[in-house]
């Protein structure tokens, strides 16, 4: 499953399963993402704890990427 996080346009009330229904916080993504999932973070302003949160996700076998980073 892919989850999107967008600090500007997202909402933690969304399901996070698409760019238009992105979550707002990585913290919330920590609660919904499961091992094997991918979290796509849209560039924006995030909590100071972002590096720690990303480390927690990776430790839980969740792949974390920047949304759009694979576009050439």
pTM (predicted TM-score): 0.89
What the chain holds in terms of domains, given with CATH numbers, is 2-66 (3.30.1910.20)
Per-residue pLDDT tens over the stretch 19-70: 999 999 999 999 999 999 999 999 999 988 899 999 999 999 999 999 876 5
pLDDT at 72: 44
Q: pLDDT (tens digit, 9 = 90+) per residue, 3-13?
A: 999 999 999 99
Three-state SS for the chain is: CEEEECCCCCCCCCCCCCHHHCECCHHHHHHHCCCCCEEEECCCCCCCCHHHHHHHHHHCCCEEEECCCCCC
């Amino acid at each position: 499953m892919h989850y999107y996080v967008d600090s500007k346009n997202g909402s933690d009330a969304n399901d996070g399963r698409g760019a238009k229904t992105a979550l707002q916080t990585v913290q919330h993504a920590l609660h919904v993402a499961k091992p094997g999932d991918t979290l796509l973070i849209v560039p924006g302003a995030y909590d100071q704890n972002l590096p720690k949160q990303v480390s927690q996700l990776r430790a839980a076998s969740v792949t974390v990427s920047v949304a759009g980073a694979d576009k050439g």
